[in-house]
Amino acid sequence: MSDASRSISPSVDSPETYVQFGDRYLASSNIPLALKNYQRALAINPDFAAAHERIGSIYHQQGNFMEAIASFSKALQLDPQSLESQLGLGNAYQQMGWSELAITHFQKALELHPDRFIAEYHCRLGDSLKERGRLTDAIASYERAISTNPDYVDGYRAIAQLYFQQNQPELVHAIYERAENHNLELLQAKDYNALGVAYLQKITFIDSDDQSLKEDLETKAIACFEKAIQSDPTYADAHCNLGSTFIRKNQLKDAILAYKEAIDIDPNFAQPYFNLGIILNNIGKVDEAIACFQSAVDLVPNWVEAKQYLGKLLERQL
């Protein structure tokens, strides 16, 4: 007999008992037995809201979103105050791409239980608001996530992502500073790397020939990549991006070192081989360039540009 069976008397034939059994099985990841007990609860009382809500959660976990919506809707019909059912419907509608319905249920959950609406829920509401183009409301929701839990890094990242999409790396930098001022350990190498890339991308949108502005953005990008490397010295992508920024500033020796560092960290990362091959070819080290392009092609056989460079160098040698 299982621990669950011993801890609850099977003689108590009630929907509450079967839901408790189901919860025990669910906690031990025994989904079939959990579902079976919730269904037993409904066999006794078809209007037992908690069982409908639990079944909806299982369907949602299994990716059966329409079935989940049906179960959560039945639970809400029976218990309109249920936070779990409101959130379950919000999550299921969000998964289906029905953002307006998701917003309705997330906001209802917040209205009914503001004290239990944790940072994650604020972010999910923000995601649906963003999906509907309500960016100001989305940012307000993400800000509430941060206010609810200042250590919830996804709140900072969600705001940053909006600013990334708007090509405003300076605003991303500001939200990162807020995160750092609260907790230096919140952000990771990938965050600083993404900001560095955003600074470089902004250069491509500058209409003027303002060289000082471009150099300023390159300097900020370098600082971001170096910060990413400081956070995680084994983050090969940041080393590669640092090398590409050094090329823009014509610091070839620094670029070569950065690309070689990326390759040492991750020998299966094709991009630094390709980039290094271009530099080596430009400075007359053709044999080394060929080896780099060959490595890039070996790793990514359908990389047309790498194959073209390799082919031209091999023809030149012949």
pLDDT tens-digit map of 233-287: 999 999 999 999 999 999 999 999 999 999 999 999 999 999 999 999 999 999 9
| Contact (CB, 8 A) for 120 and 152 | yes
- Over residues 286-312, the pLDDT tens digits come to 999 999 999 999 999 999 999 999 999
Checking if the pLDDT of 207 tops 90, the result is no
Structure tokens at 159: 């705001």
Token pair 């037992």 is found at 48
What are the phi and psi torsion angles at 313 (to 5°)?
A: -70, -40
Quickly count: other Cβ atoms within 10 Å of residue 64's Cβ: 15
Band (211; pLDDT cuts 50, 70, 90) = confident
Q: How far is CA 12 from CA 4, 21, 24, 240, in A?
A: 14, 12, 16, 65
Band (2; pLDDT cuts 50, 70, 90) = very low
Band (3; pLDDT cuts 50, 70, 90) = very low
Domains of the chain are 188-266 (1.25.40.10), 269-318 (1.25.40.10)
Checking if the pLDDT of 5 tops 50, the result is no
Band (209; pLDDT cuts 50, 70, 90) = confident
| pLDDT value of position 12 | 62
Calpha distance 36→13 (Å, rounded): 15
- Over residues 57-114, the pLDDT tens digits come to 999 999 999 999 999 999 999 999 999 999 999 999 999 999 999 999 999 999 999 9
| pLDDT value of position 92 | 97
Checking if the pLDDT of 8 tops 60, the result is no
| pLDDT value of position 11 | 44
| Contact (CB, 8 A) for 186 and 155 | no
Angle formed at CA 169 by CA 163 and CA 175, multiple of 5 degrees: 65
Residues 135-156, mean pLDDT to the nearest whole number? 98
| Contact (CB, 8 A) for 54 and 26 | yes
| Contact (CB, 8 A) for 45 and 13 | no
Kindly state the percentage of the chain with pLDDT values over 70: 96
pTM of the model: 0.85
Checking if the pLDDT of 15 tops 50, the result is yes
| pLDDT value of position 1 | 38
Checking if the pLDDT of 26 tops 80, the result is yes
Average pLDDT, the chain: 94
| pLDDT value of position 10 | 46
- Over residues 113-123, the pLDDT tens digits come to 999 999 999 99
| pLDDT value of position 101 | 97
Residues 126-132, mean pLDDT to the nearest whole number? 97
